[in-house]
Chain A
């Protein structure tokens, strides 16, 4: 019982981190039709800059805020300089965002050195609680709560506010939204900024969770996020959270019982989804070719 609860919490926490990365990917894809291969780079930048600020100031909260700000700034710059010039050309977009990924992760190595850095949670999130004989690590609960909070907040914005309405309309039909006199370009920029901010938040939360960060982790998590985006359905925000939890849980249970197969199981899941439901497990609409 103890083991199952811990594996579940572990899976949920990992799932939430992947969700923070995948949510931005799927929103950007749904609205702008851009699959951002540099998203993992933004994630890694969040981790490094957040950890650096955390170590400089000694406050984890400021570190998180700094990481999110880094994500916002990088997101705006990326959208403005990298994505906008090649807007509408799929092949060029895919190529250029991968190039950006390369530059971003190499820049990390230039600034912080090629070796991995260690990170640990602040005092008040260290340690664990004991509930009826089950040991629960505090930091995992913290990650799950942050993930749920972000999910709820984005869901609220999407469903209840005017800007959310515009975004949802944009996902359905960009041209129509533009024809109604709304500056969709500006909405693109905000969505990209928020997506990058969420990725950076995921990155900074990962640091103390896994203990070490390195420049290659952006790509590792990006692969998981792509799997999540395919399983959840491209452009489907709610699907991405469910798929992220699914991938996180299967990863954590597999890593315990059959460690060698943990990535293979997720890949298999993705292959099955691609064969039987290319529009994603949790999507209602048809597949866009």
Chain B
């Protein structure tokens, strides 16, 4: 039953993706497409975060560092060398290598310990990357960041929109497949009960590191797309706010569902856009993040499964309910 439902969900997603794919032909709005591109980029980022928090039960507070590594390596390659496709692929390659390396080392250091250590080490390590980006002026131009030109292919916004959409769908399908693979099953077993998984003979540490490397590389790819979409990169890509965005999107959307991460990304980016408009009316909306902070706390406390999870439980309950109700009527 669950399997069928999962397939339905995937089909639903693919229908929406097809709709979004055709949208530029029938509707023209520069702002909307920029916003949608942003949503796709953050959806990739949030899904990579979901792999850690939702499927493996690892909490990272420094996911921004992989995002930032991606954004900066793209920026630096485009700025220091020619903005051609060759250097684009070199930047992608170096991002993959760097993010894999960093996530591997961090995982090796802390994943054998309690979950607190990973959260703490990633938090402080991303702080270190932020400082590095500020201080290494010859490479990163410090706090102000720098603009750069992008390869010709990406200049057209619609092309880039399609590219981001395709990568998002690809990332979704890949993660769907990945989490349903034997390896993904072991990851979910670790989330449910680490000791039991270990006593069944699985090398828990290896699986956790594998998850963190995959999540790190995907986050790096999201960072690359983010940098290209802005054609600008500064130290804010390493800031805590980026990690918090991923956290809010995943938690509010629903952990361990992947779809939740996409919905969360859409919700938060749309709300961000809308509330920034409202900020002109009243100053309290400038602090829009506070609303999300409160919603986030309430979700963690009362709906730990997020929007998608809670909705799923309600619908599956409703399917079972009629039988129960009939019985009650008889009794009444």
Interface flags, B110-138, vs A, CB<8A=1, else 0 = 10111111011101110110011001000
Residues of A close to B74: CB separation below 8 A: none
Q: B167 at interface (Cβ–Cβ under 8 A)?
A: no
- Residue of chain B at shortest CB distance from A271: B109
Residues of B close to A90: CB separation below 8 A: 114-116
Say yes or no: A82-B114 contact (C-beta < 8 A), given A35-B120, A267-B125: no
- Residue of chain A at shortest CB distance from B53: A91
Q: B297 at interface (Cβ–Cβ under 8 A)?
A: yes
Residues of A close to B301: CB separation below 8 A: 85-86, 96
Say yes or no: A264-B131 contact (C-beta < 8 A), given A107-B290, A223-B124: yes
- Tell me, in angstroms, the Cα distance from A234 to B131 when the chains sit together: 26
B-contacting residues, A60-98, CB 8 Å: 82, 85-86, 90-92, 94-96, 98
- Tell me, in angstroms, the Cα distance from A61 to B290 when the chains sit together: 32
Interface flags, A238-276, vs B, CB<8A=1, else 0 = 000000000000000000000010011001001100110
Contact, CB under 8 Å: B114 / A230: no
Q: A289 at interface (Cβ–Cβ under 8 A)?
A: yes
Q: A99 at interface (Cβ–Cβ under 8 A)?
A: yes
Contact, CB under 8 Å: A223 / B284: no
B-contacting residues, A92-110, CB 8 Å: 92, 94-96, 98-100, 102-103, 106-107, 109-110
- Residue of chain B at shortest CB distance from A110: B287
Contact, CB under 8 Å: A110 / B121: no
How many A residues touch B, CB cutoff 8 Å? 41
Ordered by A's residue number, 26 sampled pairs between the chains whose C-beta atoms are within 8 Å are: A35-B116, A82-B297, A91-B59, A91-B115, A94-B59, A94-B116, A99-B297, A100-B297, A102-B244, A102-B290, A102-B296, A103-B293, A223-B123, A226-B120, A226-B124, A234-B116, A260-B135, A264-B128, A264-B131, A270-B121, A274-B110, A274-B121, A275-B109, A288-B114, A289-B113, A289-B114
Contact, CB under 8 Å: A106 / B293: yes
Residues of A close to B300: CB separation below 8 A: 86, 92, 95-96, 99
- Tell me, in angstroms, the Cα distance from A278 to B110 when the chains sit together: 9
- Tell me, in angstroms, the Cα distance from A265 to B128 when the chains sit together: 10
Residues of A close to B244: CB separation below 8 A: 98, 102
Residues of A close to B135: CB separation below 8 A: 260
Among B240, B300, B304, the most chain A Cβ lie within 10 Å of the Cβ of B300
Q: With A96-B297, A264-B131, A267-B128 given, can you name 17 additional A-B contacts, CB distance below 8 Å?
A: A35-B119, A37-B119, A90-B116, A91-B57, A94-B59, A102-B296, A103-B293, A106-B290, A107-B290, A110-B287, A220-B127, A223-B127, A229-B120, A230-B120, A267-B125, A270-B124, A278-B113
Q: A144 at interface (Cβ–Cβ under 8 A)?
A: no
Residues of B close to A270: CB separation below 8 A: 121, 124
Among B61, B112, B119, the most chain A Cβ lie within 10 Å of the Cβ of B119
Secondary structure dominating the interface of B: helix
Q: A205 at interface (Cβ–Cβ under 8 A)?
A: no
- Tell me, in angstroms, the Cα distance from A96 to B119 when the chains sit together: 13
A234 to B: closest C-beta gap in Å: 8
Chain A residues within 8 Å of B, Cβ to Cβ = 29, 35, 37, 82, 85-86, 90-92, 94-96, 98-100, 102-103, 106-107, 109-110, 219-220, 223, 226-227, 229-230, 234, 260, 263-264, 267, 270-271, 274-275, 278, 287-289
- Residue of chain A at shortest CB distance from B195: A289
- Tell me, in angstroms, the Cα distance from A88 to B290 when the chains sit together: 26
- Residue of chain A at shortest CB distance from B284: A110
How many B residues touch A, CB cutoff 8 Å? 38
- Residue of chain A at shortest CB distance from B126: A223
A-contacting residues, B211-252, CB 8 Å: 240, 244, 247, 251
Say yes or no: A226-B115 contact (C-beta < 8 A), given A103-B297, A110-B284, A219-B240: no
Residues of B close to A219: CB separation below 8 A: 240
Contact, CB under 8 Å: B109 / A274: yes
Q: B294 at interface (Cβ–Cβ under 8 A)?
A: yes
Find A103's partner among B53, B119, B294 (CB 8 Å cutoff). Answer: B294
- Tell me, in angstroms, the Cα distance from A29 to B61 when the chains sit together: 18
Interface flags, B293-310, vs A, CB<8A=1, else 0 = 110110011001000000
Among B61, B121, B293, B294, the most chain A Cβ lie within 10 Å of the Cβ of B293
Interface pairs A-B: 7 shortest CB-CB:
A103-B293, A106-B290, A102-B293, A99-B297, A35-B116, A226-B120, A99-B296
Q: B34 at interface (Cβ–Cβ under 8 A)?
A: no
Find A95's partner among B124, B240, B251 (CB 8 Å cutoff). Answer: B251
- Tell me, in angstroms, the Cα distance from A263 to B240 when the chains sit together: 16
Contact, CB under 8 Å: A263 / B127: yes
A-contacting residues, B140-186, CB 8 Å: none
- Tell me, in angstroms, the Cα distance from A288 to B110 when the chains sit together: 13
A8 to B: closest C-beta gap in Å: 24
